[in-house]
Structure formats: structure tokens, C-alpha cells
Structure 1
Amino acid sequence: MGDVGGLRERKKRQMYRRLSDTAIGLFLEKGFEQVTVADVAAAVDVSKPTLFRYFPAKEDLVLHRLADNEGEAGRVVARRPAGSSPLEALRCHFLDGLARRDPVTGLNDDAEVLAFHRLLYGTPSLVARLHAHGERDEAALADVLAGEVGEVGEVGEIGEIGGGVQARLAAGQIVAVQRVLARENWRHITAGRGADGLYPEAVAVARSAFAQLEAGLPHLA
């Protein structure tokens, strides 16, 4: 039964990927508004009801490409090495992303990545859905940080509700900094800078940004 279940899951993941990749290809070629869900279903040779079982909304076909990154900050903090602070773990993770030219950091000049970014940020309904994606990231990080706040005694001093607010405020600041860093890198790339040439500057700016976070959130540093 385990093999059957595993095969079923693999086929499901493959269908998610196939539908999303096909849709994104059509959106890039013809424009998001010009392509219907029926067009995507026909291109993959499935029915519309079948497609909607995988993706309830048209925007989800695009955002699926970011699914693996959702909640990443929270996971980085939760799985950090012993003796590493939350902000240290997040800084190292972001710097590693820059070194790998991870598209999430904005430091990637691959033509396909740039085209995807233009689709994402140039479509109002996708920008709105991306905002919701960011809110879920914030919430997941806040849940993890709530334990960190408790460990340093702030919950005991200002109460359980205050501790939750402290965690949410910290998560909001961290996610905002990462978003601004990525958007700045992407802005430079779209202006014609190469990722390799921009890398040293991106690293310096990221280090400075995380230093500001550490100064403002010393209990997480």
C-alpha cells in the first residue's frame, strides 16, 4: 500500500507541476488576461473540473511555482543549528541564497526568471495573491518566534498577548526587509545589471539590513 500511495502522490505532484508550467508558458506567451482556464485545461488535455481540483483559482497556477518557498523563514529559524540566533540563521540563509542566485533573493538574471517576475509583478491579481503569500510567511515566522520571545522573558513581563504581538511585529519587520532586499536586487537586474557584477553590492546591502534588524530586535540576535 505504501508504494501505491507513494506513486499516487508522485503522480499528483507531477500533475501540479505540469499544469502550472503549461499555464505559465501560455501566460508568458499571450498574457495572463488573454489565457483562460479552459485554454490551460485543453493544453494539458484535462477537463476544467479536473484542473480546478488542483488549482481553485487561475492565479494559483502561477503562485504554485513559489509554493516550496512559503513559510521558509519560519522553517529556517525552527531548524537552525544549536547556538545560532534566529536573525543569524536568517542572515546566513539569505546570503547563501544570494551566492546560489536564488530567484527569491532577486539576484538572478536568467531570462526565464526575469520573464516570470515580469508576469508576477505586472499582473494586479497576482500581486494581490502574492501579498497573501507574504502574510502567510509572516504568520508562520511569528508562530516560531513566539517561542523565542518567551525564552527571553518578554512574555512574562508583558503578558501572553503582548508576547504574541512582539513576535508578529518582529516577523513583519524581518519579512519586510527580505522583500525589500529582493525587490532592490530585481530592480537593478531589470535595469541591466548582471547578477555576478551586482553580487558584492547585494551582499553588503543585505549585511547592513540584517545589522539594522539585530539592532532593533536584540532579543533575536
Structure 2
Amino acid sequence: MGETTVDGADGLRERKKRQTYERLSETAITLFLERGFERVSVAEIAAAADVSKPTLFRYFPTKEDLVLHRFADHEDEAARVVTGARGAGSALDALRLHFADGLARRDPVTGLNDDPGVLAYHGLLYGTPSLVAGAYAYQRRSEAVLADALTEVLTEAGGGAVGGPVVARLAAGQIVAVQRVLAEGNWRRIAEGESADRVYPDAVAAAGLGFGQLRDGLPLNN
């Protein structure tokens, strides 16, 4: 009794590593919100978190990564939804339902969240050019992972032999773009003073239009 298994030791190390990531990120975001992103140095963040600069950089290679860490769990989210839905129906329907569920839960990723802390974070993100650029980099990686998942779906359906990867990349780009536009539209209305509950019906309708266009094609033929 009392012995730690190899798996247990590995799990403990991973848990401590995640906790360190979270602590460093939250410390940095708190300072950025208080004083502004450009006015806080990495050395000040390290001191506030009681770690050395080299230690901080082992966890976060750039200052921007300290803020964008909140996106880390979402980078492959759409791909996971598609993979989890294989054999159970349309990948697009699965993504539509997942986004609708996020709206209902007020998931910050959908932009439909009026918690003051979330609003402050989004204000920091969208108000800092280098963070906006970093967020787009996360979205590009999300798009690439989603394209891989969609390629597998097309291959299983017999559509991967000719043009499958291209079709998947085009689809992934459109899906990620629709989700981004929907989320930014929700956030901007809330940032202007509307509540999440007030925006919700319009957000649901907009999501229906967005995913409807993905399903039916763009209405640009006339």
C-alpha cells in the first residue's frame, strides 16, 4: 500500500504540468487586463507567478501564447466532433448540433457569453493586434486538423479517391470561417451592451443560416 504506479506517477506529472500551464496563463491574463498587454513584461509575469523566465518560456514560447492558451483545448474540437459522429450521420449535422449546444450552454467559444471576465478577455484578445494574429494561427491549425478528419470521412464514404483532400480542405475552411463569423457577431453585440439571453434567439437563427449555406451552397448564382 502507498506505492505509486508508473501510470499514477505519469498522471500526477501531467496533472501538475496542466496546473502550471493554467497558473501561468491566468497570472498573465490578470496582469494584462489590469495594465494592458504591451505594458506588462514577461519578467513581471514570471515574478508574479514565482518562476524564472526560462521556466515560463518552457511552458509558453511567446508572450501571446500566455493568452491564447485558453484556445488550446478547442484547437481540435471540430475534428473530434466529426470523428465522434462517424457512422452516426452527417458530419455537418454533428457540427451544427455541437455549435447549437454551445450557444445554449453559453460557451465562450461561440461568443455568446456575457460574464464580465469573459467579456474582458475577449476585449483583450480582439483589441490586441498580435493576439488577433495568434488567434488566426490557432484557427488555421484547427482547420488543418478538421480537414484531416473530413478526409477520413470522405474516404470511408468512397469519395476520397479523386479530389477528396481538396474537398475536405475547402469544407474545413468554410466551416471554420462560418463558426468564426458567428462567434464574432455574437461577441460584438454583447460587447455593445446586449445580454446573452437577448442575443440568443438571433444567434440561433444566424447559426441556422450559416450552416444552411454550408449545406446548400452559397446563394450567389443569380
**What TM-score, normalized by structure 2, do the two folds share?**
0.92
Please name the residue that 1:184 is paired with. Answer: 185
- Does the alignment pair 1:126 with 2:116? no
Does the Cα contact within 8 Å between 2:86 and 2:153 map onto a contact in 1? Answer: no
Please name the residue that 1:155 is paired with. Answer: 160
Please name the residue that 2:210 is paired with. Answer: 209
Higher relative contact order (CA 8 A, sep 6+): 1
Please name the residue that 1:74 is paired with. Answer: 79
- Does the alignment pair 1:43 with 2:44? no
What amino acid maps onto 2:35 in structure 1? K
Partners of 1:146 and 1:140 in 2: CA distance? 10
Please name the residue that 2:101 is paired with. Answer: 96
Deviations 1:127-178, CA, capped at 9 Å, x for gaps? 111111000010000001112223444433xx3xx22111100000000000
Please name the residue that 2:24 is paired with. Answer: 19
- Does the alignment pair 1:200 with 2:201? yes
> What secondary structure, in the 3-state scheme, does the structure 2 residue paired with 1:79 have?
helix
Q: Which segments of 5 or more consecutive residues in structure 2 lack a partner in the other structure?
A: 1-5
Moved over 4 A (4+): none
**What TM-score, normalized by structure 1, do the two folds share?**
0.93
Deviation at 1:81, TM superposition (A): 6.3
What amino acid maps onto 1:182 in structure 2? A
Q: CA RMSD in A?
A: 1.3
Partners of 2:178 and 2:116 in 1: CA distance? 25
Deviations 1:172-206, CA, capped at 9 Å, x for gaps? 00000000000111111111111011111111111
Partners of 1:65 and 1:165 in 2: CA distance? 30
Deviations 1:38-70, CA, capped at 9 Å, x for gaps? 000000111101111111111110011111111
Does the Cα contact within 8 Å between 2:96 and 2:211 map onto a contact in 1? Answer: yes
Q: Which segments of 5 or more consecutive residues in structure 1 lack a partner in the other structure?
A: none
- Does the alignment pair 1:6 with 2:4? no
Gap change, CA 1:80 and 1:152, over 3 Å in 2: closer
Partners of 1:172 and 1:31 in 2: CA distance? 32
What amino acid maps onto 1:76 in structure 2? V
Q: What's the % identity of the aligned pairs?
A: 66
Deviation at 1:2, TM superposition (A): 2.1
Does the Cα contact within 8 Å between 2:85 and 2:94 map onto a contact in 1? Answer: yes
Does the Cα contact within 8 Å between 2:37 and 2:128 map onto a contact in 1? Answer: yes
Partners of 2:88 and 2:98 in 1: CA distance? 15
Deviation at 1:208, TM superposition (A): 1.6
> How many residue pairs get matched?
213
Partners of 2:177 and 2:167 in 1: CA distance? 15
Does the Cα contact within 8 Å between 2:112 and 2:183 map onto a contact in 1? Answer: yes
Partners of 1:152 and 1:14 in 2: CA distance? 41
> What secondary structure, in the 3-state scheme, does the structure 1 residue paired with 2:37 have?
coil
